[in-house]
Chains A and B, each alone.
Chain A
Amino acid sequence: AQSVTQPDIHITVSEGASLELRCNYSYGATPYLFWYVQSPGQGLQLLLKYFSGDTLVQGIKGFEAEFKRSQSSFNLRKPSVHWSDAAEYFCAVAATNAGKSTFGDGTTLTVKP
């Protein structure tokens, strides 16, 4: 069965600083990987996704993520965080095309002025 671990429950960074949110997955084959962002009381917005090909994927809002098969990781990065990036971030994995996504517990990002 697929699973996702987000080791960091809460991260605080200063505005303008770089950000890396960790995600580790467990799945036997090449997974489909996603990062979503959720602002308080809002739905889930897809930031980026990885299916195959280039292991460094670019997403919206200046985010990128790198798939590392050897480490079973799909970490999310942003070179310079903005106050509006404060939100909950979820990593998710799907095993099959149009199959269910399994979500991690989420990482809450706080941005200090």
Chain B
Amino acid sequence: EPEVTQTPSHQVTQMGQEVILRCVPISNHLYFYWYRQILGQKVEFLVSFYNNEISEKSEIFDDQFSVERPDGSNFTLKIRSTKLEDSAMYFCASSEEGAEGNTIYFGEGSWLTVV
């Protein structure tokens, strides 16, 4: 079964450093998302991306965050200058267009620890 893959699975970074989290969505999907989950808390929406542009973003997704689809397969989340409170599990997700477009398939997550 096709799946969303994410790398790295775990990254430790120093506060102030830039981090790039990478995702390979399911190949025929056209909508891409990033969510995050702070330890012990709920899953929170960050951003959705369609047709090479951001379609929606939350208040969490401030100027420190950016997303990019640099080629036909990857979808990245960049945090420009990490803060301690950015420590969380980051989930990439994707969905098809059309009637199945609201079924979101999640990756295994990238655990980011900022020290």
List residues of chain A with CB under 8 Å of any chain B CB.
Answer: 32, 34, 36, 41-46, 49, 51, 90, 92, 94, 96-106
Contact of A98 among B41, B97, B109 (CB under 8 A): B97
Inter-subunit contact B103/A49 (CB<8 Å)? yes
Q: Are B91 and A99 in contact (CB under 8 A)?
A: no
Cβ-defined contact, B56 with A100, below 8 A:
yes
Determine if B109 and A99 form an interchain contact, defined as CB atoms under 8 angstroms apart: no
| Seed contacts A99-B56, A101-B104; 8 additional CB < 8 Å A-B pairs | A44-B43, A51-B99, A94-B102, A98-B31, A98-B101, A99-B102, A100-B58, A102-B45
Q: Is A90's CB under 8 angstroms from B42's CB?
A: yes
Contact-size category for B? 20 to 34
Q: Is the CB of A99 within 8 A of B48?
A: yes
Contact with A along B28-68 (1 / 0, CB 8 A): 00010100000001111100101000001010000000000
- Chain B residues near A42 (CB, 8 Å)? 108-109
The complex places the Cα of A45 from the Cα of B104 at a distance, in Å, of 10
- Which residue of chain A lies nearest to B50 when distances are taken between CB atoms in the complex? A98
Known: A43-B108, A98-B95, A100-B56. A51 touches B44 (CB 8 A): no
Whole-angstrom distance from the CB of A36 to the nearest CB of chain B?
8
Residues of B within 8 A of A94 (CB): 102, 104
Residues of chain B touching chain A, judged by Cβ–Cβ distance below 8 Å, are: 31, 33, 41-45, 48, 50, 56, 58, 91, 95, 97-99, 101-109, 111
Q: Which residues of B contact A36 (CB under 8 A)?
A: 106
> In chain A, what residue has the closest Cβ to B30?
A98
* 20 CB-based A-B contacts, threshold 8 Å: A42-B108, A42-B109, A43-B108, A44-B43, A90-B43, A92-B43, A94-B104, A96-B102, A97-B98, A97-B101, A97-B102, A98-B31, A98-B50, A98-B97, A99-B102, A100-B33, A100-B45, A103-B44, A104-B42, A105-B41
Interface centre among B42, B50, B102, B106 (most CB of A within 10 A): B102
Bound Cα distance A83, B45 (Å)? 30
- Bound-state Cα–Cα, A98 to B101, Å: 4
Residue of A nearest to B107 (CB): A43
Bound form: Cα–Cα A102–B35 in Å: 10
